[in-house]
Amino acid sequence: MVNPILLIIVPLGTAFLISLTASFLKNSTKYLALLAMIANVWVSIKLLPEVMQHSINVVIAGVKPPLGINLFVGPSGAVFSILISAAGLLILLYSFKYIEGDSQHKYYTLFLLLITGSHGMVLTGDVFNLFVFFEILAISSYILVGYEGKRNGLEAAVKYLILGSIGSVLILVAVALIYQEAGTLNMADLADKFGMIDPSKRLMILVFFITGMGVEAAVFPLNSWLPDAHSSAPSSISAMLSGFVIEVALIVIVKFVYSIFAMTEILGFLSLVAVITLLVGEFAAFKQANIKRVLAYSSIGQIGLILFAMSLNSTGGINAGLMQIVNHTASKSILFLVAGFLIVRTGSYQISDYRGIAKKMPVSAFFFVIGVLSLLGVPPFFGFFSKLAIIIAALHTGSIFNTVMVFLVLLGTVIESIYFLRIIQVMYNRDGIVDSVKEAPFLPLLAIAAFAVVILAGFLVLPQITGYTGGVASEIVRKMQMAQVF
Amino acid sequence: MRKVISFLLLAGFVFYFATLTGGLLIPDSSADRSSVGLDILSRSADETGSANAVTSVVVLYRGFDTLGEVTVLFLAALGISVFMKSTGEKRKKVLDQSFILKTGSRLLFPLMFLFGMYIIAHGHLSPGGGFPGGVIIATGFFVILLTSESVNFNKTLMSVLEGLAGLSFIGLGVVGLLGPGNSFLQNFLPLGTFNTVFSAGIIPLIYAVVGIKVGAELSSVVYAMKESK
C-alpha cells in the first residue's frame, strides 16, 4: 500500500528543500519541483484502484481519531488527487518556459505549496486540519496572483486577500462552533454527532461554513475577487486557480452538505444560487474585451453549472458534476495556457489584437478551438458527455423547478457559445494585422496537447471514467460514519 | 441613509448572532457530551511523557496541524519577500542612533537570544515552546536591526535555516512513518523521566526545529521590511 500522506509531505518537503538549496541551485530548483510532481502523479495513480475497493484511513502521530488527526481517503480523495497532481505536472512543464526572471525558486516553492494545500483539503479527515490546508492553499494563491509585481496583479491580490481572509475567519468560526457543540473535530465522528446539535446552531454552522468556503469556490455573491485575480495572475497560475483550486473548495462544500452535515434541505437554495452564478458569469463574460477576463468570467459560469449538477440531490447529478469538473479542468487549462503565450507574443490582452493570429500561431489556435468546443459541449468532445449527463440528471428529478433551471443553463450555454465563437472568428480572420509573431515553444505546447488528449480521447474511456466518478458520487451521498474510520 | 441601513443590518446581524450563540461564552457544563479535550487531558501525561499538556496537543496529538501552521508562517515570510523586493541600495539618510541605544541593544541581544533558547528547550515542561521562543529570538534581531545603521544580515543563511528546519520537521515525521508505529510524526524515542529536560521523546526536537524556523522566518521578515523602499 502506498501511503496517501506522501501526497502531502512530498511537495511540502520539496518546497522546504528548494528554500534550502536556492542559493546555489538558482533556477535549477524547478527540476526538484518536477521530481515532486512526478512522484505525486505516481502515488495518486497507485492509490486509485485501492480506494475503489475500500477507503484508506491514515492515522497520524500514532493517535487514533477522534483524539488525533487522520487522513480519510475515499474515491473522492483519490480522484481529486489525480486531477490535482496531473494538472499540476502539466502546468509545471508549461511554467518552465513561461516563468522568467532571477528568483524563480520562489515561484516553484509557492507552486508546490499550492499543490500541498489542494491535496490536503481533499485528503484530510479532520475539520481543523481542513482549515489549516485551506489557509495554505489560500495564502499561496494570494501571493501567486500578485507574483509578477504589476499594478493590477497587486490590486487583485489585495482584493483577493481581503475577501479570502473574511472567508477563512467564517470557516474558523464554524470550526469553533463545531467543537463547542459536538466536542469533536474528526469528520466521521462529527457526522455521527451532528444530528444531536440544536437545529438553529446546526443551521448557523452550515451557513458560516458554506459562506466561508463559498468565497474560495466563487459562488455568486462572494465571487467579486475572481475576475481580477484569475485575469491578472500569471497565466499558468490562472490555469491552476480555475482548473482545480475553485473546484477543490466546491467539492469540500458538497462533501460537507451531503456526507457530514447531512443537511440536504439546503440543496434547493444552493441550486438556485448556482444558476444565478452561471447566468451572472456568462452575461459578464459576454461584455469583456480582455481575453483573460472572458476566461475568468467563464470560470464563474462553469462553477455555477458544476454546483447546479451537484446540488440535484442525486448520485447521477454528482456524477455529472464530477465529469464536468474533469472537462473544465482540461479545457479551461488549455484556454488559459494558450492565452498566456498569445499575451506574451502580442503583448496585448485585447481580443481585437489577435486578428488573424491563427496564421502565425496555428498550433496554439488549434488547441484553443478544441478547448472552446469541449467547454461548449460539442460532440464528440468530453464536454458533450458531461453536459448531457447534467441535463439528464436534472430532468430525471422530475421537478418543474429543475426543468426551468435546465432551460436557464441552456440559455447560459448559448451566450457562452456566442462570445467564444466570436474570439475564434477574430483569431481565424483572413486579413490578419499581426506580424512578427512566433509560435509558442515546444514544451508548453506539449503540456497543452496533453490536456487536449484528455478531452479528445475522453469518450473512448468514458465507461472507466464514469466508473470512478460514480464511485466518488456514491461515496459523497452516503453519510460518513465513525465505524468506517476504524 | 446608507449609514442608517447598514447600521440596521449590522444590528440585526448582531442580534441574530447573540441569540444563536447565547451559550457560546458560557460553557454549559451540564451537557453530557464526550469531549476530545477532556479525554486528551486525562491521558496525555502517560502517552506522551510531556509535563505540559498543551505542548503534547500542539506537537503530537495535533502535530500535523502544527506542520501546517509552520508552513503558513513560511508562506507569509515568502510573500513578504516576493512583494517587498530589496532595493539593493542603502537608504540615503539613516538616523544616527545614540551611543547608549546602540550599546544597550548589543548588550540586550545575547540575553534575549539565550532566553529564547530557554523557552524553546523547556516547551514540554513549562509554558512556551517553539513559537514564542522563536519570536523572542526574532525580537532580538529586530532590536539590533532597528538601532544600528548597517548590519551584516546573511539572507542566504536565513533561507537555508528555514529550509533545513522545515525538512527536519518532515524528516522527524518520516522516521516515525518508517519505524514500527508506521505513522507520520509517531513518537519513536523513549519517553524518559517525566518532567525532566530530556523527556517526552521527539517533542523537544520538534519544538527546537519549530523555534529555529520561526526565528529565522520572522527575522527575515523584519529585514525585508527594513530594506524595502
The whole-number pLDDT of residue B86 equals 52
Give the model's pLDDT for residue B23: 57
Range of the domain at B189: 56-82+95-227
Long-range pairs for B22-30 at CB < 8 Å and ≥24 separation? B24/A177, B24/A180, B27/A180
- Give B 103-132 residues with CB within 8 A of chain A: none
Task: For residue B88, tell me if it sits in a domain.
Answer: no
Nearest to B78 among A110, A183, A204 (CB): A110
Contact across the interface for A132 and B65, Cβ inside 8 Å: yes
Measured at the CA of A41, the angle between CA A475 and CA A332, to 5 degrees, comes to 75
- Whether residue B131 lies inside any domain: the answer is yes
Are B160 and A58 within 8 A, CB to CB? no
Which residue from A59, A116, A146 is facing B83, i.e. has the nearest CB?
Answer: A146
Span of A16-20, A72-76, A428-432, B136-140 with lowest mean pLDDT: A428-432
Give the residue among A370, A363, A241 at the shortest CA–CA distance from A302: A241
Average pLDDT estimate for A441-446? 90
CA R_g for chain B: 23
> Domain boundaries in chain A?
6-485
What does the pLDDT read at residue A251?
A: 94
> CA A372 to CA A331: how far, in whole Å?
7
Neighbours of A90 (CB within 10 A): 27
CB contact under 8 A, A61 and B36: no
pLDDT value of position B34 = 59
DSSP H/E element including A71: strand A70-73
Share the mean pLDDT of chain A: 89
The confidence score (pLDDT) of residue A181 equals 86
Distances from the Cα of B59 to the Cαs of A27, A35, A61, B95, B101, in angstroms?
Answer: 34, 29, 9, 43, 39
Residue A322 has pLDDT above 90, yes or no: yes
Total domain count, chain B: 1
CA-closest candidate to residue A147, choices B227, B81, B88:
B81
- Any chain A CB within 8 A of the CB of B179? no
Residue holding cell 476566461? A295
Set of chain B residues whose Cβ sits within 8 Å of the Cβ of A13: 166-167, 170
pLDDT-based confidence at residue A79 (cuts at 50, 70, 90): very high
Residue of A6, A23, A57, A60 to mutate, testing the B interface (most B Cβ within 10 Å of its Cβ): A60
CA separation for the pair A34, A313 (Å, rounded):
40
B99 touches chain A (CB under 8 A): no
Which among B75, B83, B170 is the nearest to A113, CB-wise? B75
Give the count of alpha carbons within 13 A of A97, CB side only: 19
Residue B77 inside a domain? The answer is yes
Residue with cell 523602499: B229
Judged by DSSP in three states, A290 sits in strand
Within 10 Å of residue A428's Cβ, how many Cβ atoms? 17
* Bigger pLDDT: A268 vs B193: A268
Read off the pLDDT band of A355 (50, 70, 90).
Answer: confident
Looking at the partner chain, which of B65, B75, B176 has a beta carbon nearest the beta carbon of A139?
Answer: B75
Mark yes or no for CB contact A61/B79 under 8 Å.
Answer: no
**What's the whole-number mean pLDDT along residues A191-201?**
87
Q: What is the pLDDT of residue A434?
A: 62
Residue B43 located in a structural domain: no
Q: Judge whether B45 lies within some domain.
A: no
Mean pLDDT of A99-127: 91
Cβ-Cβ contacts under 8 Å, A135 against chain B = 68, 72
Amino acid identity at A336: F
Any CB–CB contact under 8 A between B195 and chain A?
A: no
Closest CA to A236 of A70, A95, A139, A392: A95
Q: What is the pLDDT of residue A64?
A: 81
Burial A459-473 (b: 16+ CB within 10 A, else e): eeeeeebbebbbbbb
Quick one: how many helices (H) and strands (E) in chain A? 20, 2
Does B15 reach chain A within 8 Å, measured CB to CB? no
Instruction: Kindly list the residues from chain A whose CB atom is less than 8 angstroms away from the CB atom of residue B185.
Output: 60-62
Alpha-carbon distance of A130 to A142, in angstroms, equals 18
Give pLDDT tens digits for A366-405: 999 999 999 998 888 899 999 999 999 999 888 888 899 8
Per DSSP, the three-state class of A163 is: helix
C-alpha angle A30/A35/A41, rounded to 5°?
A: 125
Query: How do residues B76-134 score in pLDDT, each as one tens digit?
Result: 999 988 888 754 555 555 566 788 888 888 899 999 999 999 999 888 888 888 899 99
Chain A touched by B163 (CB under 8 Å): yes
Give tens-digit pLDDT for A284-317: 998 888 999 999 999 999 999 999 999 988 899 9
Contacts of A204 in chain B (CB under 8 A): 20-21
In 3D, which of A82, A87, A8 has the Cα closest to residue A52? A82
Q: Which residues of chain B have pLDDT under 50?
A: 30, 32, 87
Q: What does the block give as the cell for A282?
A: 456568462
Tell me how close the Cα of B20 comes to any Cα of chain A, in angstroms. 6
Cell match 472552446: residue? A372
